[in-house]
Amino acid sequence: MNIFQSIRFRIIAMCILFAFIVNLSYTQLLVLVTEESQDDVFNLHLAHSAKVWADEYKKDNQFIENLGAIGKDIFIGSESELMDYVTKKYDLKIEMLKKDFEGLSHWPLIDHVEKEIHEEVILYEIEYDNIRLHIAKAELDAQEKSVSLFYLVDVGKLYPQSGSDMDTLFLQVFIFLISIIFAVLIGMYLANRAVLPLSQLSSDVDAVKIGQKIVLNRQYYNDEIGVLADKLRAMFQRMDSFIEREKSFSRDASHELRTPITNIHIAVELAQAMPQCNDDKVQQVLSRIARSNNDMIHLVETFLLLGREETREERATTCILFNMVTESLENNKYLIQSKSINVINDIDENIKIQQATKILKVVLNNLIRNAFQYTNAGSVKVSGTAQYLEVEDTGIGFEYKKDLIPYSDHHESGLGLGLNIVQRICQLKGWQLLIDSKLGEGTSIRVNF
């Protein structure tokens, strides 16, 4: 089974995909909320400080000098004067025409304008190259608004952007990896839990033994697997019924068919021995009846053997291959009584094989019968060892196809039926069947054990 097409892989993949989407959305939301919250808190502190220092400046003008001494960037003046101050101090390469100056809020560098978050304090934010300047404006005189206290802070120096971005990226990667690991673990757990009933059902089906009553004893939940188990139970019941009918038919056929065939065989032998039947024409007719009756005996025994499922598990026994071949050649020699054929048993008399004897005899008989029936002159040779069995003839041959079809499509006899029987048995036992045939030249059939 391809792991990438399994249910487990699909469940784990869906968990990973879900974790990826959730993690991506969460981290983006977290970054936005964190940055916004950080700016709000900082701006609130900035506005509060500007308001307090403006109130202190109103009481004592020297207070600003003290703040400058401790590094606070405080500017007292108008917005136009602040513009000049900021441009020079931070080296902003922008020329502003004072005659067109309409106020700090209209300055092109201003990114966010007029955030009144603390009484009369207004905030401005400037972003230019690497400068992120926050300015808090606090009025000093409600009547005279041209002069104000400006508190300036370069946020870029407090929180370097590159470092912040790297920290944020690292945090995102870390959270992503952790979420993926948890997604894989959770996906594996869910996959195992989800597939467990199916695995149990598969084990129960594998545990069913041929020849025994098919039963699924395990109880399953009333879900899709439970429905499938019920369907399998119903199917097994029908199979049990079918197998029982087949066994009954095999027993009845074994008795009902063998009895008349045996009677015919005895009757033909008696008729052949009677003085009244010594006429050549009568003997020819009786011989044809005897051959047809032997064919029927062979077919019935073959079909009954194939119809029994126990054939798969027939135990191997040790036998001498030469004796088996000799017996088969003798039993089928009536097929070549009127033909000039050289029969060769090219098997060492001491070779022993360990195979299912009954089944091997069926294969051997079918191969020899086919060779005898469709060879009018020449030779039929049987060879083999403990590893293989081969029958070669110089007969009419045929056009071999991978899936054998009844030979009656090409001839009035049934060579294809015999080969199909051999093919079914080889598939049943796991033997390798090799066929080499040329029309008009002959056939070689080999069975590798």
Predicted confidence (pLDDT) per residue in 418-441, tens digit: 788 888 888 888 899 999 988 888
Helix/strand/coil for 135:
strand
Higher pLDDT, 225 or 446: 446
Lowest mean pLDDT among 155-164, 237-246, 251-260, 288-297: 155-164
Residue 113 confidence (pLDDT): 46
Q: Where are the beta strands (DSSP E) in 324-409?
A: 340-346, 352-355, 377-384, 388-393
Helix/strand/coil for 148:
strand
Helix/strand/coil for 447:
strand
In the predicted model, is pLDDT for residue 48 greater than 90? Answer: no
CA atoms within 13 Å, Cβ hemisphere of 285: 7
Lowest mean pLDDT among 14-23, 49-58, 129-138: 14-23
Q: Which residues contact 153 (CB under 8 A, 6 or more apart)?
A: 46, 73, 133, 134
Lowest mean pLDDT among 162-176, 355-369, 400-414: 400-414
Tokens found for residue 203:
């084990």
Higher pLDDT, 330 or 19: 330
Tokens found for residue 326:
């000799």
Q: What is the DSSP string of 215-253?
A: ---S---SSHHHHHHHHHHHHHHHHHHHHHHHHHHHHHH
Phi/psi for 70 (5° steps) reads -100, 15
Higher pLDDT, 140 or 375: 375
Q: Which CA distances in Å does 151 have to 35, 46, 68, 113, 144?
A: 22, 8, 11, 15, 19
Domains of the chain, start order = 3-164 (no CATH), 314-448 (3.30.565.10)
Lowest mean pLDDT among 38-47, 244-253, 354-363: 244-253
* pLDDT average, residue stretch 337-364: 89
Residue 325 confidence (pLDDT): 94
Q: Which residues contact 138 (CB under 8 A, 6 or more apart)?
A: 50, 51, 53, 54, 120, 121, 148, 149, 150, 151
Q: Which residues contact 209 (CB under 8 A, 6 or more apart)?
A: none
In the predicted model, is pLDDT for residue 412 greater than 60? Answer: no
Residue type, 236: F
What pTM does this model have? 0.45
In the predicted model, is pLDDT for residue 342 greater than 90? Answer: yes
pLDDT range class, residue 142, cuts 50, 70, 90? low
170-195 pLDDT, tens digit each: 777 787 788 778 777 887 777 777 77
Nearest to 329 by CA among 314, 315, 347, 317: 347
Total count of residues recorded for the chain? 449
* pLDDT average, residue stretch 303-316: 65
Find the farthest-apart pair of alpha carbons in the chain and give their distance in angstroms, rounded.
157
211-247 pLDDT, tens digit each: 566 667 777 777 777 788 888 888 878 877 887 787 7
Residue 219 CA, distance from chain mean position: 27
In the predicted model, is pLDDT for residue 89 greater than 50? Answer: yes
pLDDT range class, residue 444, cuts 50, 70, 90? very high
CA distance 236 to 231: 9
CA distance 337 to 328: 15
pLDDT range class, residue 445, cuts 50, 70, 90? very high
Q: Which CA distances in Å does 90 have to 84, 103, 127, 137, 224?
A: 10, 19, 11, 18, 72
Mean per-residue pLDDT of the chain: 77
Sheet holding 110-112, edge to edge: 73-77, 148-154, 131-139, 121-128, 110-112
Cβ contact 294:286 at 8 Å: no
Higher pLDDT, 423 or 346: 346
* pLDDT average, residue stretch 14-32: 74
Most confident region among 9-13, 253-257, 387-391 by mean pLDDT: 387-391
